[in-house]
Structure 1
Amino acid sequence: MTIDRPQALARLLQLIEPLNRKGIPLREDTSFATDLEFDSLTVMDLVANMEDEWDINIPLNILPDLETIGDVADAIVKLKGES
């Protein structure tokens, strides 16, 4: 089952919000490392939540390329399209 990008982005924002301890406004260009200051444990929690939410496997080797919320939304749409 495919998912469109607006749906993926909206749900992704909901998954990120509880982890957004700094209360940073969440936008597509929000950076996980710079803006949100997520550590590796928080990133792995988010990855696990995304994998459960969309029934996908996110390869660890693509994580360094997923710098912003928009990057992750694109990856979710791509991975769902491949499943």
Structure 2
Amino acid sequence: MTDRTATYYRIATQIEPFNKKGVELTEGTTFASDLEWDSLTVMDFVAAIEDEFDIIITMNMQAEIETVGQLVATVEKLTA
């Protein structure tokens, strides 16, 4: 298993409690359209990801992250 795959699965585990619609996750899954998250859900989720990986995702970074794959790439960059 590659580091990216491990990161993806850790993120998918964090998404699970927020995935109220049971959407099947892929790297292309969008937080706003597919998962239909509101801003409060996004903030709670970002906090969970920051805790899980011991990182800080700035507001500017958050604004650019639309898909699960983009989040994986960002986490990989911040933990490298």
Smaller-chain TM-score range? over 0.9
Name the counterpart of 2:47.
Answer: 48
Structure having greater relative contact order (Cα 8 Å, sep ≥ 6): 1
Report the Cα offset of residue 5 of structure 1.
1.1
- What amino acid is aligned across from residue 71 of structure 1 in structure 2? Q
For 2:5 and 2:62, how far apart are their aligned partners in 1?
21
Name the counterpart of 2:56.
Answer: 57
Runs in 1 of length 4+ with deviation above 3 angstroms? none
For 1:12 and 1:58, how far apart are their aligned partners in 2?
14
Name the counterpart of 2:16.
Answer: 17
- Provide the aligned length of Structure 1 versus Structure 2: 79
In structure 1, stretches of 5+ residues that fail to align are: none
Name the Cα RMSD after superposition.
1.2
Alpha-carbon deviations, 1:36-71, whole Å to 9, x = none?
A: 000011111111001111110111111121000000
